[in-house]
Amino acid sequence: MIAQQTIQQILSRTDIIEVVGGFVRLKKRGANYLGLCPFHNEKTPSFTVSPAKEIYKCFGCGRSGNTISFLMEHEKYSYADALRWLAAKYNVEIEETEVSPELRQKQQVADSLHIINGFAQKYFSHILWEHEEGQDIGLSYLRERGFGDEIIRKFQLGYALDSRDAFSKAALAAQYNPEYLQRCGLAVLREDRLVDNYRGRIIFPVHNQSGKVIGFGARIIKSNDRAPKYINTPENELYVKSRILYGSWHARQAIDKQDECLLVEGYTDVVSLHQAGIENVVASGGTSLTIDQLRLIRKYTNRLTIIYDGDSAGIKAALRGLDMALEESLDVKLVLIPDKEDPDSYVRKLGASAFRDFIAANKKDFILFQLEVSLRDAGGDSNKKAAVVNQVAETISRINKAQDFTRQQDYIRQCAELLRIDEGGLHALVNKFIREGLGRRENREASASGGQFATGMGVSEAGGLASDHASRASDSAGFAAGAPSAEEEDSISLLFRHEQNERGMIRSLLEFGLKPWNEDKLVADYILEQARDYYEMIDNKRLLRILETYKEWYEEGIEPSTKSFLYHEDQELSTLAVSIMDFRHQLSLNWKDHYEGKIATAEDLYKEDVLSTMSYLKLRKIKRLMDENQKDLDQPHSDAEQLMLIQTHMHLKNMEMELLQHVGTVIVK
Ligand code: ZN
């Protein structure tokens, strides 16, 4: 690992204008620089770089980040590679930290497995092209299926001889470690002898994000065999199934350029579509999509199109992970391939351009498609229809990031139309699921690290609306009555306002934390002190992570700066920090130029800014206490109790009034 000291040194010398300017022609415009966005096609520049904040943002496509994420995104570097590139550019000598013995051991194993996989890939390709059996059986099979030599070489396909130990012998002769050969899934031990795991099979190497072979899929040729159709590499240091999308190495640039990722089931579908010139395609390998796979797709695009053939069990499995996709802000479309066809056969039948037209013309929205299917299944059964309503509301409730607000509203409108129910009622039900989902989701996210999420559309897991609407009107939040309460209508916009307040607090902390608050305190002291009482009020657990990380550093005597977070190795934290430190504040600084300093700048107003954001949190807490008190008031009470509750209400109301004065001083961000 690169030493923290080196990283600091690199970052202190890095000039974002110089680095980004090396790839994009930038022109100075006020405090910022402007250029044509390298991530999407545009004629008028909307790609903005701020030298002061050391971030960039495109107002056309929305991409944003820091110098390192620019290099990672534009040049496809890893975090460490981006640092190395900068170190070379700015003549910083890299110091590597001591690695723990366990980590070094793990790296050595991974290195060995990489070397063995590389050897195996070359061996199997050699057999396919040069060996008689490889040519007669393997190559002729591939050619019969319509694969040309060029595509076979591009995907490094190979052939494993139908032999007991041809590969194992070759590997042992080349001095490869028998234990690692087994760990790679290339050989197995039978009666103390190493024998081949793949026999008489076509070999599909699986590549990682930097193009190295991390495993294999071995497909059977003789269809009358009782053996499994595919044998895949077992999980090991390199091959982690939940993080792999077959073809992602070959598809990455096409996905980026076309801003869309096609998902199919099998290896041959990927290779076949590639050969037809459709290169933005990956395969799920027939399992439920995992959060890691979805995030891999999101690195390149947020448009996912699933090509689905009716009988494909694998794609059905992939569909089960899809509500996670909605939470990841992916826009998911489905295309159904006609009966008895799969993507491989269908692209051969139609040809590339007709296939592409077919995809474009038959794309269905994932949510609307599921709704149509469920409604058809429900028929005239009102019980089933009620379950469908619940199911669709639950699904829509997962699209609730601030940037997805319009999409969510569109879905509510379209689904209400399809269901022939009142839009306001559906809206209220969605809000109910959002409230219930917030806690659940954050918990799940905290425990999620590459696990599978086959939670499915969960038809009835959420319970709720039964057939006898009237009797359950109270907990289905006005749905049965057909009109949402004012509170329900408000709750989405309120959720977003809360999120803004929370972000505002973190922004104040990052931006002003090290400035004086009063004679003996810094702003950070004040915010951290105050925030302690309001942790439970912070809904966004990732923001809470920034707060806690800041606190940890601060207490250790490290002075956390905006930079520490912008360049945090954890991409999730860094992305969040970038989105918090956006350009809105900078814009207000431009007022200074206009009014020659007559107007206070955001810089001067920082104390009020801090006070205002903290007041919001307090207001929320008071509001919550008032709500609880009000609920209590609605119950029958003795006169004395009643009086006490009213006094509590008055007290809270006074606190609220006082706080509102602070909040009013600074424009809501
Ligand atoms: Zn752009």
> pLDDT for 597-614, tens place per residue?
444 445 556 777 777 777
Determine the angle formed by the axes of helices 366-378 and 382-397, rounding to 10 degrees: 170
Distance 589 CA to ligand 1 centre (A): 24
* Confidence label for 547 from pLDDT (cuts 50, 70 and 90): confident
- Please provide residue 468's backbone torsions phi and psi, each rounded to the nearest 5 degrees: -85, 80
pLDDT in tens, 362-373: 888 888 877 887
Domain 250-423 architecture: 3-Layer(aba) Sandwich (3.40)
Residues 304-357: tens digit of each pLDDT? 998 877 665 655 565 666 777 887 778 888 888 887 788 888 998 888 889 999
Residue 116 pLDDT > 50: yes
Distance 34 CA to ligand 1 centre (A): 12
- How remote is the CA of residue 322 from the centroid of ligand 1, in Å? 27
pLDDT at residue 311 in the model: 61
pLDDT for 288 equals 73
Task: Flag whether pLDDT at 485 surpasses 50.
Answer: no
Query: Residue 524: pLDDT above 50?
Result: yes
138 versus 336: the higher-pLDDT residue is 138
On the question of pLDDT at 632 being above 70, the answer is yes
Q: What is the pLDDT of residue 179?
A: 94
- Mean pLDDT along residues 109-137: 95
Distance 276 CA to ligand 1 centre (A): 29
CA angle 84, 256, 546 (to 5 degrees): 55
CA of 60 from ligand 1 middle (Å) equals 5
Q: Which amino acid is located at 183 in the chain? A: R
Q: Which of 512, 566, 542, 507 lies closest to 7 in space, CA to CA?
A: 566
Give the pLDDT mean for 588-602. Answer: 41
CA of residue 394 to ligand 1 center, whole Å: 33
Has residue 454 got a pLDDT over 90? no
pLDDT band at 181 (very low <50, low <70, confident <90, very high): very high
The predicted model gives 143-147 an average pLDDT of 93
Q: What per-residue confidence (pLDDT) applies to 563?
A: 73
Instruction: Give the model's pLDDT for residue 7.
Output: 83
CA 581 to ligand 1 center in whole angstroms: 18
Instruction: State in Å: Cα 29 to ligand 1 middle.
Output: 17
Average pLDDT score over the chain: 78
Tens-digit pLDDT profile for residues 314-325: 555 656 667 778
269, 342 contact by CB (below 8 A): yes
Q: Which of 130-139, 201-210, 449-458 has the lowest mean pLDDT?
A: 449-458
Mean pLDDT, residues 641-662 = 77
* Backbone φ and ψ of 234, nearest 5°: -70, 160
Taking residues 209-226, report their average pLDDT.
84
Residue 299 alpha carbon to ligand 1 centre in Å: 14
Of the candidates 241, 273, 242, 243, which has an alpha carbon nearest to the alpha carbon of residue 258? 273
**C-alpha to C-alpha distance for 198 and 213, rounded to whole angstroms:** 17
225 CA from centroid of ligand 1 (Å): 52
Q: Is the pLDDT of residue 291 over 70?
A: yes
Cα 305 to ligand 1 centre (Å): 22
User: pLDDT tens digit string along 556-584?
Assistant: 777 777 777 777 777 777 777 777 765 44
Q: How confident is the model at residue 498 (pLDDT cuts 50, 70, 90)?
A: low
Report the alpha-carbon distance of residue 621 to residue 533 in Å, rounded: 10
Q: How far is the CA of 567 from the centre of ligand 1 (A)?
A: 21
Q: How far is the CA of 11 from the centre of ligand 1 (A)?
A: 25
Ligand 1 centroid, distance to 40 Cα (angstroms)? 5
Ligand 1 mean position to 74 CA, how many Å?
12
Q: Give 37 Cα–ligand 1 centroid separation in angstroms.
A: 4
Instruction: Tell the residue number behind the tokens 């415009």, with chain if given.
Output: 29
**pTM of structure:** 0.55
Q: How many CB atoms lie within 10 A of CB 570?
A: 13
User: For 525-542, what is the HEC assignment?
Assistant: HHHHHHHHCCHHHCCCHH
CB-CB neighbours of 325 under 10 Å: 26
pLDDT of residue 509: 84
Give the Cα separation of 563 and 565 in Å (integer).
5
Give residue 197's pLDDT band: very low, low, confident or very high (50, 70, 90): very high
Do you know the residue count of the chain?
Answer: 669
Q: What is the pLDDT of residue 286?
A: 64
39 CA → ligand 1 middle, Å:
5
- In this structure, is the dihedral angle defined by the CA atoms of residues 352, 353, 356 and 358, taken in order, positive or negative? negative
Mean pLDDT, residues 240-262 taken together: 88
CA–centroid distance, residue 55 to ligand 1 (Å): 14
More confident residue, 459 or 8: 8
Domain range list for the chain: 4-89, 101-239, 250-423, 488-584+602-663
pLDDT band at 443 (very low <50, low <70, confident <90, very high): very low
**Ligand 1 centre distance from Cα of residue 331 (Å):** 18
Signed CA dihedral, 253, 258, 261, 264: sign only? negative
CATH homologous superfamily of 4-89 equals: Zinc finger, CHC2-typedomain (3.90.580.10)
Q: What are φ and ψ of residue 524, in 5° steps? A: -60, -45
pLDDT, position 164: 94
Residue with tokens 């700048």: 601
Band of residue 472 on the pLDDT scale cut at 50, 70, 90:
very low
Instruction: Tell me what pLDDT residue 495 has.
Output: 45
Report how far ligand 1's centroid is from the alpha carbon of 10 (Å): 27
| pLDDT for the residue numbered 480 | 31
pLDDT of residue 668: 33
**Ligand 1: centre distance to CA 156 (Å):** 34
For a pLDDT cut of 70, what percent of the chain falls above it? Answer: 81
Q: What is the pLDDT of residues 42-72, one digit of tens each?
A: 888 889 998 888 889 888 888 888 898 898 8
Mind listing the pLDDT tens digit for each residue in 374-412?
A: 788 777 777 788 888 888 888 888 887 766 778 888 899
Cβ–Cβ contacts within 10 Å for residue 233, how many?
24
- Using the mean position of ligand 1's atoms as its centre, give its distance from the Cα of residue 461 in Å: 40
Kindly give the distance from the C-alpha atom of residue 300 to the centroid of ligand 1, in angstroms, as a whole number: 13
More confident position, 533 or 511: 511
Mean per-residue pLDDT for 627-653?
80
Q: Calculate how far, in angstroms, residue 279's C-alpha sits from the geometric centre of ligand 1.
A: 22
Report CA(64)–ligand 1 centroid distance (Å).
9
* pLDDT average, residue stretch 536-540: 69
Residue 662 or residue 351, greater confidence: 351
Which residues neighbour 316 within 8 Å (Cβ) at sequence distance 6 or greater? none
Which pLDDT score, from 0 to 100, does residue 438 have? 57
State the distance from the centre of ligand 1 to the C-alpha of 430, rounded, in angstroms: 32
Ligand 1 center to residue 516 CA distance, Å? 38
β-strands 32-35, 47-50 pairing: antiparallel
How far is ligand 1, taken at its centre, from the CA of residue 56, in Å? 10
Asked whether residue 665 carries a pLDDT value surpassing 60, the answer given is no
As a whole number of Å, the CA-based R_g of the chain is 29
Ligand 1: distance of its center to the CA of 47 in Å? 6
Asked if the domains 4-89 and 101-239 are classified in one and the same CATH topology, the answer is no
User: Domain 101-239 belongs to what topology?
Assistant: DNA primase DNAg catalytic core, N-terminal domain (3.90.980)
User: Distance from the CA of 600 to the center of ligand 1, in angstroms?
Assistant: 33
CB 269 within 8 A of CB 343: yes
How many whole angstroms from 36 Cα to the centroid of ligand 1? 8
Kindly tell me if the per-residue pLDDT of 658 is higher than 90. Answer: no
